[in-house]
Every structure is written in C-alpha cells, then in structure tokens.
Amino acid sequence: MSEPLTLLKVLVDRRHWTYRDFCGHFEAAARRLGIKNLTVSEAQFRRWTAGKIQSSPAADACRVLTDLFGIDADQLFLAPSSDALAPPFNLEAEIDMTARDAHSVAGEAASASISDTAVEQLRDDVHRLARRYNALPPFEVLRTARALREEIEQHRDRTQVPVQQQELLILAGQVCAILSTAAFDLGSFDGATRLARSAALYGETARFEPLRAFAGGTLAYIAYFSGRPAEAVQYARRSAMLPGLGDVAQRRLAAIEARAHGHLGDVPSAQRALTRSTTVGTGSTDDLHDGVGGEFGFSDERLAMSNGSTCLLLGDGQQAEKAAERALELVNARPPAARSLPVVGGAAADLATARLMRGDLDGAAHTLTKVWDVPVEQRATGLLARARHVRQSLTDPRFRAAPLAVEIGERLEHFTRSAQNQLGAGGVPALES
C-alpha cells in the first residue's frame, strides 16, 4: 500500500472526509473568515491531496486551509513526516480538531439567524395592524397584511434558530388570520376560507392553540354565511375545546355558535350559547385574544352587537333592541378615535330592524343615520348583510305605502351598491363580523 503523498491527504483521511465533507468544512471556514464565494472543485481537491500543484493556492485559500487544520498551508502540500504517519491519536490535536469543528458548526448556525430586532419589528407591525383593523378599509388591510406576510416568510427562510422560527410561524399565522377577515369583509368567502385554514395550519405547526381557535371561529362564521350553519356549529364547538383559551376566546366562539343555532332554528341551543357567551368568567387569558387584541379580541360592544343579531334571527325583537342599544352605548363611551365603525354601523342597522319589528318606522329612520355615516370604503360584508336585512323588513305590509319607508328602502339599496371593492355578500344575517 503506497503512502499518502501529502499531509493534507493524511489529515483528510483521518477525519474520514469525502470530497463533499471537505468542501462543506472549507466553505464554512471561508464564511467564518469573511471570505465570500470561495469553494473548491472536486478536481482541485484531488490535485491538492495528491500533491499535483505547481505553486501554493491563492492567499484566501491558504488562509482557509490554515484555519481549518491549524497547520501552515504550505506544510499541507508537502509529503507527510514519519510523525504524521504514526498512530493518529494525539489528545491535544483531537481537542483542537473538535474545537475547530464545533466552531465551524456554530459559525454556520450564527450565519443562519436574523436579528432579534427584525423579529420585534415584524411583531410590532402585525400587532399594530390587528389593533387598527376597524379603523382601516378592508382593502388597505389586505394590501398591508399581504406585504407583511411576504416579509415574514423571507425572514423565515433566513433563520434556523428555533425560537425565531417559532415566533415567525405564529406571526405568519396571525397575518393569515387578518387576511382571512379582510377577504371575508370584501366578500371573498373562498379566499377567506383558504386563508383561515392557513392560519389554523400555522397555529397547529407552532403549537399555538389560540390561533387555531381564532381561525376555527372564522371558519365557523364563513360556513354560516355560505349557508352551512350546522358546519358552523361544529367548527365553533371544536375550537372551544382547544386548550389554553381565555375568556375572550370562549365568548367569541359561544357567540358564533349561538348565531349558527339561530339560523338552524334551534332556539334552546341558541339560548344556551347566548347565556354562555355572557357568563364566561374564569379570569383566564391567552396571548392572542387578550395579549394582541384588536381584531383578535372580542370587545363587550362586539359581543352585544353579535348577540343582538342572534336575537333578531330568533324573532326576539325586544331582546335584540336591548342588545343593539347596549352595543351603541358601549362603543360611544370610548374616545372617538377608538370607536369601531363596523360596530356602530352594524348595531345601528340591527337596532333599526328591531324597531321595525314593533312598527316604529320613525325610530328606525333615526338610528339609520349612524349607518349612513359609515364611509363607503368600510362598508364590509357584515354591515351590508345587516343593511339588506333592514331593507327586507321594510317590505312588511305596515310600511309598504309609507313615503318614509320608500325613501329608506331606496337609500339602503344605494348604500349596498356603493360599497367599494366588495365582491358581494350573502343575504343572511352577519355573525359577529
């Protein structure tokens, strides 16, 4: 058996490195030294280990070889000494080699991470968008959230740090949930469904149950709007069984379930869910519905508005009127900048419908002034569905010949036609959007 021709060959053999192994360690060492785009072809590797070179490699390559083996590069291309051919174990050399390999791997890991500051900024951007959702037109939310999602995915591709990967998965899921809500508000039920399912998958991957629950609730009310209330009940119930949910999450899911039961005509089940939505009070919180809040939350006024809509579906105009008035009272108690226009418009529309149920046309006309005030670009699916419900109520024989009813009906038709970027919504009452 012939002896190795170079010391480099001896050292490579001792490490049991193939060409691919050598190339990987060489490139990692180059990056660690700040040398970009430096690699070794297989033919070059064969010449180096066989000693078939006319002169030393380039200076950068020599620097990398010296760092990699702890031996001057020129010595690597010479024939090995008898000491080098002796039994290979040398404690100091082994420790040195282990340290160098560990440093190389650590360097690789460090290069596969991103700044914590970048993650913090993305977190702030996502949470700010969630908290400002009701102050922005859905189309603007859609554009902003789409850009955020792309940025998050780019950062996910650049890091292998588990903690960063975990948080970016959660943020990507939150953005998908926001996109789903925006798509729903713009009337795209199919797009909203796909995005909600994506949010649920992110939540499952990240083991973040509140996100799965929120997405499940969204899927529930999309199913309801799509004419599948029984499916909506199942989505809401399964989501409520997930661990780690706070009171806000449970109230939201109970309100959605109540609305689905109401559409099914199951009055006892609807009443039980309504009661549950107002009596949950364990003091539990979670990092999404409470920690982020905004669109992920479920304020008292949104709960009152939602339950008022359910009471309308059950034919209980008196309770619907009380709930809608309560929703308006709560939202008006907030500073003007913090008032949710979707809640103001939605609760006012429901209040008008409840007043029409008891024959109060003038009272309905008065409360509809709050509906007219909702800007065109913020007339989303839930509000449009409620406006259509008011329009339907005006067909009652008591109002058919009344000039005021004719005027309101024409204005409601114009209101729904004027919605910008709206793909169309079903005629069924809204859940809690």
What is the mean predicted confidence (pLDDT) over 35-41?
89
Average pLDDT, the chain: 89
Residue 91 pLDDT grade (very low, low, confident, very high; cuts 50, 70, 90): low
pLDDT tops 80 at residue 81:
no
Which of 8-12, 267-271, 317-321 is predicted with the least confidence, judged by mean pLDDT? Answer: 8-12
Q: What is the pLDDT of residues 198-208, one digit of tens each?
A: 999 999 999 99
pLDDT tops 90 at residue 388:
yes
What is the mean predicted confidence (pLDDT) over 10-29?
87
pLDDT tops 50 at residue 432:
no
Q: What is the pLDDT of residues 115-159, one digit of tens each?
A: 899 999 999 999 999 999 999 999 999 999 999 999 999 999 888
Q: Which range, 23-27, 49-53, 54-58, 299-303, is most confident? A: 299-303
pLDDT number for residue 109: 53
φ and ψ at 296, to 5 degrees?
Answer: -85, -10
pTM (two decimals): 0.74
Residue 431 pLDDT grade (very low, low, confident, very high; cuts 50, 70, 90): very low
pLDDT tops 90 at residue 68:
no
pLDDT number for residue 2: 54
What is the mean predicted confidence (pLDDT) over 237-265?
97
pLDDT number for residue 430: 42
pLDDT number for residue 424: 52
Residue 429 pLDDT grade (very low, low, confident, very high; cuts 50, 70, 90): very low
pLDDT number for residue 99: 59
pLDDT number for residue 92: 54
In the chain, where the domains are located: 7-111
Structure tokens at 216: 């499940």
pLDDT tops 80 at residue 112:
no
Please state, for a pLDDT cut of 70, what percent of the chain lies above it: 89
pLDDT tops 60 at residue 268:
yes
> Residue-wise over 118-143: b if at least 16 C-beta within 10 A, else e?
ebeebbebbbebbbebbbebbbbbbe
Question: In whole angstroms, what is the distance from residue 32 CA to residue 111 CA?
Answer: 9
Q: What is the pLDDT of residues 323-336, one digit of tens each?
A: 999 999 999 999 98
Residue 82 pLDDT grade (very low, low, confident, very high; cuts 50, 70, 90): low
pLDDT number for residue 89: 46
What is the mean predicted confidence (pLDDT) over 359-370?
97
pLDDT number for residue 426: 41
